A = this chain, B = another copy of it.
């Protein structure tokens, strides 16, 4: 019933750092689940339900919900109930425009890093992209969504641009759930010609303009798939 990934306890940066707040933990897990499309649009959430799912009290669940609602990932119904945000034709167009306005120029900043940093990032991206390709061959749409989001955010986190990153995260939080529905509808077979190879190549070359257009094309193609898979029902 859950499908909400447990935290990766292997990364022990513990030493002098304070243990993460419980509500932060809940927020991160829920956030990842939404971005990678593990929760379908309209899916009802509740404070007590989430609290039980995570084995915590109501307070951290409330805070996580409020935070994700502020980022547009969750909707508050007129009767104050909470659900994963739904998609609409107009919203889809807005999301597409906004992604095109932000993500390419954010990615371009990654191409301006040092050659070593670019190479390290390129290798990391390649690793993710291979896992992504295998997910496509396997027809595993869950893993596809997961690795696709990991690929993009590995790229977007590289230039340290917290403002941009926050905006882009908000966009993915709103696209993620719906994306997954569409992939489930179309299957992964229609997704095997993404522009990730071009993205990595442009990054390696240190060419911001080329990286920009590669990301733009990747977005446009992905979003056009979504539009293709969009049917006006609910």
A residues in contact (CB < 8 Å) with B: 18, 21, 62-63, 66-72, 78, 80, 90-91, 94-95, 97-98, 101-102, 105, 160-164, 166-167, 170-171, 174
Contact in complex: A101, B94 (CB < 8 Å): no
**Distance, CA A151 to CA B210, complexed state (A):** 38
Chain B min CB distance to A168 (Å): 10
**Distance, CA A160 to CA B67, complexed state (A):** 23
**Distance, CA A69 to CA B102, complexed state (A):** 21
Contact in complex: A167, B98 (CB < 8 Å): yes
Chain B residue contacts of A18, Cβ below 8 A:
78
**Distance, CA A68 to CA B102, complexed state (A):** 22
Interface SS of chain A: helix
Contact in complex: B67, A163 (CB < 8 Å): no
Chain B min CB distance to A176 (Å): 14
Chain B residue contacts of A72, Cβ below 8 A:
163, 166
Contact in complex: A105, B94 (CB < 8 Å): no
Chain B residue contacts of A164, Cβ below 8 A:
94, 97-98
Task: Select which of B63, B78, B90, B174 is within 8 A of A66 by beta carbon.
Answer: B63
Also in contact, A163 and B98, with CB within 8 A (given A63-B66, A66-B67): yes
Identify the interface centre among A164, A166, A171: most chain B CB within 10 Å of its CB.
A166
Task: Select which of B63, B95, B160, B162 is within 8 A of A163 by beta carbon.
Answer: B95
Q: Give 17 A-B contacts (CB < 8 Å), ordered by A residue.
A: A66-B67, A67-B69, A70-B70, A70-B71, A72-B163, A72-B166, A90-B161, A91-B163, A94-B161, A94-B163, A97-B164, A98-B164, A101-B102, A101-B105, A166-B170, A167-B167, A170-B170
